[in-house]
Amino acid sequence: MLYYRTYEHPTEYEWVVFVHGAGGSSTTWFKQIRAFSQHFNVLVVDLRGHGESRYSNNKPFDSRNYTFDDISRDILEVLDHLHIEKAHFVGMSLGSILVRNLAEMAPERVQSLILGGAITRLNLRSRFLVGVGNLLKRVMPSLWLYSLFAWIIMPRKTHREARSIFIQEARKLCQKEFLRWFKLTWRINPLLRFFEEKDTPMPVLYVMGEEDHMFLPAVRRIIEKQKNCFLKVVEGAGHVCNIDRPHLFNRYVINFLQSQAVAAA
């Protein structure tokens, strides 16, 4: 089972589950935990191979089972273990794809989705990056390749902290684990096309950095098409907007979650 940590509120019953992106870990949510735990129960997980989740039950994860469905089931296994029937899910970057996929697999477990730095379509630049990565992945150390991607996706001075944190966390990811996760890039496009064509029954909030040059334009197009989707743009933030401008990110998401609770009452 995945490594996880919980922060339980003394009186509130609703849960918020945080899912980090590829190469990160649950520590990338350190600027959210205090703010959110004042209003909700909080669960953070380390995805397989990341952070403290290098093994499942003291054994390596089965390398044959590295699909978006398998990794989404890892998260559901933690919820089952903790007897959490339903939760709000916050995903960042690749984590946004995982929680969106989880909502397709088990919609009855999802109250709402918050997709930060959401990847909804690969543009020409991101497809080029994936292609270069596949050419170099077996000859270049994974940390070098990950650092290159981090600089391209988060290039500005204002993104320095987020870039540094993700590179630091990526050091904990071994080469074999990096290659297993990178294989998932070949499965992204069909999944993203499916998500774009299908509305979700639960409300979805996209939280995107104003300077997220790769992914914000595609999210703006989705908002125009889908009924249950809303967008908040975080000024002065890049792709990992929860680290670049945490106070704005926290305010937007907490306000959204509280408005959903009022609407459901």
Q: What is the pLDDT of residues 34-68, one digit of tens each?
A: 999 999 999 999 999 888 887 666 666 666 678 88
pLDDT band at 184 (very low <50, low <70, confident <90, very high): confident
Helix (H/G/I), strand (E/B), else coil: 162: helix
- Tens of pLDDT, residue by residue over 217-245, are 999 988 988 888 999 999 999 999 999 99
| Closest among 169, 162, 177, 123 to 242, alpha carbons compared | 162
- By percentage, how much of the chain surpasses pLDDT 70? 84
Spatial separation of the C-alpha atoms in residues 24 and 50, rounded to whole Å: 7
For 52-66, b/e burial (b = at least 16 CB within 10 A) is ebbeeeeeebeeeeb
Res 206 pLDDT > 70: yes
CB-CB contact of 137 with 179 (8 Å):
yes
Residues 109-136 have a mean pLDDT of: 78
pTM of the model as a whole: 0.89
Residue-averaged pLDDT of the chain: 86
Give the contacts of 102 (CB within 8 A, at least 6 positions apart). 72, 75, 76, 89, 109, 110
Report CA dihedral (149, 126, 16, 222) to the nearest 10 degrees: 160
How large is the greatest C-alpha to C-alpha distance in the chain, in angstroms? 56
Residues 86-97 have a mean pLDDT of: 95
pLDDT band at 128 (very low <50, low <70, confident <90, very high): low
Look at phi and psi of residue 92 and say left if phi exceeds 0, alpha if psi is from -120 to 50, else beta. beta
Decide which of 190 and 9 is more confident.
Answer: 9
Decide which of 198 and 202 is more confident.
Answer: 202
pLDDT band at 165 (very low <50, low <70, confident <90, very high): confident
CATH homologous superfamily of 4-122+187-264 equals Alpha/Beta hydrolase fold, catalytic domain (3.40.50.1820)
Helix (H) or strand (E) holding 258: helix 246-264
Query: Going by DSSP bridges, is the β-strand pair 41-45/4-7 parallel, antiparallel, or unpaired?
Result: antiparallel
Q: Between the CA of residue 258 and those of 18, 233, 236, 251, what are the distances in Å?
A: 17, 19, 25, 10
Decide which of 29 and 134 is more confident.
Answer: 29
Decide which of 233 and 259 is more confident.
Answer: 233
| Closest among 131, 247, 255, 257 to 203, alpha carbons compared | 257
CB-CB contact of 208 with 265 (8 Å):
no
